[in-house]
Structure 1
């Protein structure tokens, strides 16, 4: 018989109310109640039928949902923006669940962005140890030499980071416009990873698009549109991360 009870801090984090680490702090500080009783012990397990409150706020249990968005340029990969710019959740406004982006695509970049309310799934895909491939196509200013391109796999030092590509492929060269189209495969996702990496070599990115994420591609999607992941795709993405 399967035990459907789960750790309290995990249930709180999955609700989207706060992170698991902060949830643990709420528990040890005596700010969490289960069925009206204060619980302070980490690791306490709760059943789906239990009522949970965090600092007086009821924890709402939502069904997990998983969406893939073709993020257009000029949209922030966030749920809100202090400057009032359009954010990715504006493009999914009719979805009743509260979803959050899995990682980021910067404002001027386009392509695949996943959104979900499943914190465990999101963390699994974002953590570099799970090594889920993400493929980008970048148009860069200038014509990198073979030596420059080889450096992408060795790593480009930029600030405190070493920025690497797992693989690269030259798609086209335009000598008249002094530009190159590159396909880059990454497993990490540091802030503005591709742009900083190419700028570090002296070839600024003029245009950037994330073409695929694990087994997922943009096939059939137009910029600004989204679709739900199928149960098979969700399972495949989990298995890919866990190397099953």
Structure 2
């Protein structure tokens, strides 16, 4: 009697692929798992730290060289070397920054995380330099401070609390919308608006195709068509406060950030800067890690 023609799955050579019973489970067929090509890119799991190793981009960010994204651009431009040899990928795993240089300058090991409160004056840029000659926040900082990076940004004509740190990883954590750190602003506006309109922002709003998340907004006081409005949000998208208020038909004449997370502007004068106590920073980071763990 002729053998029936096999119609099941076949391997790459055309031979029938037979499923063998799994040990201890005779009734269950073993799922086929394709072999990983030898030259395939490493999976995400293979890039996790082991024996204390971390990605070079993360280590350089923590050392205050730049944000992780900027470090990745530096690596792509060939500006980062190890013992004189260019690093080719931000996924390079290292235990320390020994022998690492940026633009020919050896990088120092990361210092303990520091956080500063800075009252950004109106009319200066949240940038390291401006080629058109406008003032930046660094024109107001004392020369004896460590290299600091701003956490988030404030527009040219927005003043108030700007957090600054020497730790690029902490900066990144604070800026992520998923972290949910609240920012509060006071806006002086001209135009007609009701408290009901402001309360509608609690459900979020879409403007020109851009979706803005939950916003808490309240009228503080009004004089004729001028009023102060307090706004609290967690996303901090580009020009978010101004765009939302302008969408309501208001003209913003002054915008001040009064708080970021647990830190407030208080009575700080423009251009004043003060360091957060180590204990307060440690407690804040513990609270932040707890919140992230609950969300995760």
TM-score range, shorter-chain basis?
A: 0.7 to 0.9
Q: Which moved more, 1:104-113 or 1:8-17?
A: 8-17
For 1:133-189, what per-residue CA distance to the aligned partner results, in whole angstroms no more than 9, with x for missing partners?
1111111112312442133222332223123443122211222xx122111111011
The answer as to 2:223 corresponding to 1:183 is no
For 1:80-108, what per-residue CA distance to the aligned partner results, in whole angstroms no more than 9, with x for missing partners?
11221111111113234221211111121
Within-5 A mapping of 1:44-193: 44-47=93-96, 50-54=98-102, 56-61=104-109, 63=111, 64-175=113-224, 178-193=225-240
Q: CA deviation at 1:192?
A: 1.1
1:10 and 1:238 map into 2 onto residues whose CA distance is: 18
2:132 and 2:72 map into 1 onto residues whose CA distance is: 32
Aligned to 2:280: 233
TM-score by structure 2 length? 0.70
Aligned to 1:11: 59
Contact 1:4 1:47 in 2 (8 A): no
Q: CA deviation at 1:237?
A: 3.4
Compared CA separation, residues 44 and 27, structure 1 to 2 (3 A): farther
Larger-gyration structure (1/2): 2
Contact 1:155 1:164 in 2 (8 A): yes
Q: CA deviation at 1:43?
A: 4.5
1:94 and 1:25 map into 2 onto residues whose CA distance is: 27
Compared CA separation, residues 115 and 172, structure 1 to 2 (3 A): same
Contact 1:164 1:197 in 2 (8 A): no
Residues matched between the structures, number: 239
Contact 2:79 2:102 in 1 (8 A): yes
Compared CA separation, residues 82 and 54, structure 1 to 2 (3 A): closer
Contact 1:130 1:242 in 2 (8 A): no
Three-state SS of the structure 2 residue aligned to 1:242 is helix
Aligned to 1:212: 259
Aligned to 2:11: none
TM-score by structure 1 length? 0.84
Q: Which has the higher contact order (CA 8 A, sep 6+)?
A: 1
Consecutive unaligned residues of structure 2, counting only runs of 5 or more, are 1-50, 292-296
Q: CA deviation at 1:124?
A: 0.8
The answer as to 2:243 corresponding to 1:196 is yes
Three-state SS of the structure 2 residue aligned to 1:243 is helix
Q: Which moved more, 1:138-147 or 1:188-197?
A: 138-147
Compared CA separation, residues 5 and 153, structure 1 to 2 (3 A): same
CA RMSD of aligned residues (A): 2.7
Compared CA separation, residues 237 and 205, structure 1 to 2 (3 A): farther
Compared CA separation, residues 168 and 29, structure 1 to 2 (3 A): closer
